[in-house]
Amino acid sequence: MKYELTTNFIEYKYEKLYQIKALKDFKAVKVGDLGGYIERESNLSQKGDCWVFPMAKVFGFAEVYDNAEVYDNARVFNFAKVYDNARVYGNAKVYGYARVYNNAKVYGNAEIWGNNPTISSNAEVYGEAKISGNTTINEGLFQ
């Protein structure tokens, strides 16, 4: 096991989210480090080097796995997936059925949502960008 849910929790959007605690060292995370908040264990994989850092929130049926990272005040929820080496941070929100993967980054106040938007490869979506619907972005910068 890589992490466990602690008894520390917050109420966020009518959901009870539990803070995670590292049970082993990996990348910049050390045993005993407290991470961000998730609703259930299926929100964050026990495999790979994925992590939800302090202040970040992952809930609903969203999933973070592989080597993906969610940090700062970022939120990933509904059925969204963040994986491979993707990063979601700042005040970014990824939700609905959105997918962020490969080396993609979503940050600032950007929002990705809808039925099937995908942000992949080396794409960066940031600032006040809003991406929705069935949009696919796999390269470039979008603000």
pLDDT tens for 97-117 read 999 999 999 999 999 999 999
102 exposure class (CB count in 10 Å sphere: 0-12, 13-18, 19+): middle
Q: Please tell me which residue, 30 or 141, carries the higher pLDDT value.
A: 30
Confidence check: pLDDT of 76 > 80: yes
User: How far apart, in whole angstroms, are the C-alpha atoms of residue 142 and residue 66?
Assistant: 24
Q: How many domains does the chain have?
A: 1
- Secondary structure letter of residue 41 according to DSSP: G
- Spatial strand order of the sheet with 75-76 comes to 3-12, 15-22, 34-38, 57-58, 75-76, 93-94, 111-112, 130-131
Residue 13, CA distances (Å) to 39, 57, 128 in order:
11, 11, 22
Q: Residue range 75-88: average pLDDT?
A: 98
Q: What are the CA-CA distances from residue 135 to residues 88, 139, 140 (Å)?
A: 18, 12, 14
Instruction: Tell me what pLDDT residue 139 has.
Output: 85
CATH number at residue 7: 2.160.10
22 or 133: which leads in pLDDT: 22
Q: 132, 113 in Cβ contact below 8 A?
A: yes
Structural domain boundaries, residue 96: 3-142
Q: What is the pLDDT of residue 141?
A: 80
Q: For residue range 27-70, what is the model confidence (pLDDT) as tens digits?
A: 999 999 999 999 999 999 999 999 999 999 999 999 999 999 99
For residue 142, pLDDT over 80 is answered with: no
Query: What is the rounded distance in angstroms from the CA atom of residue 114 to the CA atom of residue 87?
Result: 19
